[in-house]
Amino acid sequence: MSSTPTDSGADGAGTMSQTEYAANLKRATLSSSVGSALEYFDFAMYGLMTALVFDRLFFSSAHPAMATVAAFGIYGVGFLARPFGGLFFGTIGDRIGRRWVLVATILLMGGASTLIGVLPTYEQVGVLAPILLVVLRLAQGFGAGAEQAGATVLMAEYAPVRRRGFFSALPFIGIQAGTLLASVVFFLLTMLPDEAFMSWGWRLPFLASAGLILIALFIRARLRETPSFIQLEKQEQVAERPIREIFTRGRAGVVVGIGLRMAENGGSYMFQSIALAFVTSAAIGMDRGMVTWGVTLGSLIGIFSVPLTGRISDRVGRVPVYRFGAVFMLIFSVPAWYLLSLGNEVVAIAVIAVGLGVAVNSMLGPQCAMLPELFGNRHRYLGVAMAREISAVLAGGLAGVLGAALLAWTGGNWMVLALYMATLAAITTAATFLVPETRGRDLLRTEDALRISQTECDTATDLTFTAEDDGDGGSAEGTHAAARATASTRTVSTNPSPARR
């Protein structure tokens, strides 16, 4: 039986059979999708509850505006924990492998989310209620800090090179599915009598997280380690100190990765939470159950737009597609928030749906492959985790806290929020001019994309695309040829000296 590459996405030669590779590719896709669905179901649900419920349940009702700010403050606490989780689990992922880290993160993240469903309220235990919520939010964020990075790296390292953008984007349908499920469930819960919803109805979606945890654990326990990491182990190139490498050799990639994520991550949370808080505030007064349909429709659009833009990035490159999404958000920011301020529910639903489904997801599609392609094999997990999670603090976490504060301080001035979103989009647009085209990059390379010349990137891309066929699982002979062709561009020998191991 012919063999497929150890890393169909990295041009490596290996021992995995065609059938085994195809089976593991499917498991990797399903495993990453379920994890993404759980993470974003929890986070979308938490965002919805923060905007509309938690300020009333976990804080004193004496000062409603300050209660909203405090609720979003705890929402932001989860983002503060994510870089530490990414640093901790990302280091482990680069030292012992990707698979078992993903098992640990799903347990921690999902377990914390489930326990939120049994928390006492402020009325029951006073100030202890928000303290417990902070603790669980920290645990949730610590686990999530490496979950999405792990899913991103896992799929990029398993995917066929020629279709890496498309395959890497498939698990992120789980993001859309999780967000879609959260908004649908929340809408159904709002149909309960207000007393029932506020007493026990809000707890149900968090308790339901336990079911997704069991499904994800079952799938991930059967998943084989990624081909790229297996190749690192065979060549004795596994990094002993990934943290030192990422803050020396990989620092530029992390900084650019943060810039790329500002509009995608910040815009996502602004449309999912701040926009809902804005349009349901006393000044505008829209129905909370109705406007959540904007998030639902945006997620539904994303189920198609994320893999579509990932696929387009396989054809025209990651950078042009990413830049389109950033520029679209930049242009869309002012009219979007002006339209939200008009108080028309149909218009608000459309604005939120377009913001999420088109602006945000046009960046998320190519990002799924682009971030792993920015980093070398020895510190890829940690590099992706740091870029994702530091940006999550700067964009996602601050979007909630700063957005709620701006709403309170300005009396609901839409222009301030529009300028904030436009600033995030401008940062990401600028970042797209700092990154080289990474489409088709050999993932066995140990140096970062920003450390080699654009000519080398283009050469590796051309060689890889010529060698590999269009099949979903890749061609064994074609990928072996690509591995031989790109070997001359690698800077680290397959038999490194002890000093470089």
Domain count, the chain: 1
Residue 65 structure tokens: 């505006």
Rg of the chain (C-alpha set): 22
241 in a domain, yes or no?
Answer: no
Q: What is the three-state SS of 414-457? A: HHHHHHHHHHHHHHHHHHCCCCCCCCCCCCCCCCCHHHCCHHHH
**221 close to 393: Cβ distance less than 8 angstroms:** no
Q: Which residue has the tokens 């503060």?
A: 80
CATH classification at residue 171 = 1.20.1250.20
Q: What angle do CA 301, 114, 47 make, to 5 degrees?
A: 40
5 in a domain, yes or no?
Answer: no
pLDDT tens sequence for the chain (501 residues): 333 343 444 444 345 567 777 777 888 888 788 877 877 787 778 877 876 788 888 877 766 777 777 777 787 787 788 889 888 988 888 888 887 888 888 888 888 889 998 999 888 888 898 889 888 988 888 888 888 888 888 888 888 899 999 999 988 888 778 877 887 888 888 888 888 888 888 898 888 888 878 887 887 777 777 788 888 777 766 767 788 888 888 889 999 999 999 999 999 988 988 888 888 876 787 877 788 889 889 988 988 999 999 999 999 999 999 999 999 999 999 999 999 999 899 999 999 999 999 999 999 999 999 999 999 888 888 999 999 888 888 887 776 677 777 777 877 788 988 998 999 999 999 999 999 999 989 888 888 888 654 444 444 444 444 434 444 444 433 333 343 333 333 333 333 333 333
CA distance 18 to 425: 43
CA distance 224 to 237: 19
4 in a domain, yes or no?
Answer: no
- Report residue 327: phi and psi, to 5°: -70, -40
465 in a domain, yes or no?
Answer: yes
Report pLDDT for 500. 34
496 in a domain, yes or no?
Answer: no
Report pLDDT for 451. 67
- Give the structural domain span for 365: 18-230+264-470
Has this prediction a pTM greater than 0.85? Answer: no
Q: Is 12 helix (H, G, I), strand (E, B) or coil?
A: strand
Cα–Cα nearest to 52, from 274, 382, 346, 372: 274
CA distance 419 to 415: 6
Helices (DSSP H) in 162-287: which residue ranges?
A: 164-169, 173-190, 194-199, 204-207, 209-220, 227-234, 242-246, 251-269, 275-279
Q: What angle do CA 322, 367, 89 make, to 5 degrees?
A: 155
Cross-strand partners of 17:
3
CA distance 76 to 394: 10
497 in a domain, yes or no?
Answer: no
126 in a domain, yes or no?
Answer: yes
243 in a domain, yes or no?
Answer: no
Report pLDDT for 140. 85
